[in-house]
Amino acid sequence: MESILEQAKLWLAHYGMQVVGAIAILVLGILAAKAFTKIFRKVLRRAKIDETLVSFGGNMLQFVMIMLVVIAALSRLGFQTSSLIAMMGAAALAVGLSLQSNLSNLAAGVLILIFRPFRLGEMVEMGGILGKVEEITIMVTKLRMVDGKLAIMPNTKAFNDKLINFTAAKKRRVDLVIGIGYGDDIKKAKDILQRLVEEDPRVLKEPKPSIIVLNLGDSSVDIGVRPWTKNTDWWAVKCDLTEKIKLTFDAEGINIPYPQRDVHLYPTAGSGNSSQGVSE
């Protein structure tokens, strides 16, 4: 028993200060890491950085600082930390190579949260998918499609592919193409369209709506109707105007034609001498 106590005294005399120093480094270092991380998050919030990025950045900073504190504590105890750092670097490189695509998504997620090409609740089209932005995370962006389905886009695709943001601007133009028959009065049709547009209170005065002849088609004269509305009114105005135009044209006797084709049937031997014309 005395020999054990004697050995303990010798060990404490030799290593005691190192252990106390390592514990002090560990405790004070962890407290400092938490305090510095808290300040870092406050600075990011004052800069109006997204909360997801604030949380991610704070966690990463705290992790790195605590790892440095642990290495410093081990060094105080006499461990060779250079080999440990080399091993950690090699492990980080191996993990980075195996998770290359995930790290690309992470980097793209950080860029999305910083540059804000789209925000929560906005209607966007990315990667050929149309939907409302429901959630933005570090790795993926979630879209609620118009039919209720949930689309999950990797952030590399969301950031690098062609993106159309339909709600980023406050105003949006409604584009309608209305065809009338060649025998109908173009001026009368344009006057009716102008009146219907001006009667809708949701149509903005500026920019002014335009009613223009776009094309002389195969079976119709195509007139473009282009009023401007608030983003929130766009869909309702488009649907309401389409219905009102059809009802008003019917009442005014203006024809909205559909494509027609003349099919000529020629007689074969023994079937007669006359040809027939059939309209479709």
Q: Is the pLDDT of residue 266 over 90?
A: no
For the segment 150-169, the average pLDDT, to the nearest whole number, is 89
Confidence (pLDDT) at 45: 82
Question: For 171-252, CATH number?
Answer: 3.30.70.100
pLDDT digits (tens, 9 = 90+) for 90-137: 666 666 555 556 678 788 888 887 888 888 889 999 888 999 999 888
Q: Which fold has domain 117-165?
A: SH3 type barrels. (2.30.30)
Q: Which fold has domain 12-98?
A: Helix Hairpins (1.10.287)
Tokens of 175: 């584009």
Confidence (pLDDT) at 92: 66
Q: Is the pLDDT of residue 278 over 50?
A: no
| CA dist list (Å): 141 to 147, 150, 156, 158 | 18, 10, 10, 7
Residue 250 and residue 194: Cα distance in Å, rounded?
Answer: 16
How buried is residue 223: exposed, middle or buried, by Cβ count under 10 Å (0-12/13-18/19+)?
buried
- Asked if residues 56 and 13 have their Cβ atoms less than 8 Å apart, the reply is no
Break the chain into its structural domains and give their ranges: 12-98, 117-165, 171-252
For the segment 45-54, the average pLDDT, to the nearest whole number, is 76
pLDDT digits (tens, 9 = 90+) for 20-48: 888 888 899 889 989 998 998 888 888 77
Q: Is the pLDDT of residue 175 over 90?
A: yes
Confidence (pLDDT) at 271: 54
Confidence (pLDDT) at 227: 96
pLDDT digits (tens, 9 = 90+) for 87-98: 767 666 666 555
Q: Is the pLDDT of residue 71 over 60?
A: yes
Q: What confidence tier does 197 reach under pLDDT thresholds 50, 70, 90?
A: very high
Of 15-19, 160-164, 165-169, 200-204, the range with the highest mean pLDDT is 200-204
Peptide bond into 207 cis (omega under 30): yes
The reply to whether the predicted model has a pTM over 0.75 is no
Tokens of 115: 């540059």
- Asked if residues 203 and 237 have their Cβ atoms less than 8 Å apart, the reply is yes
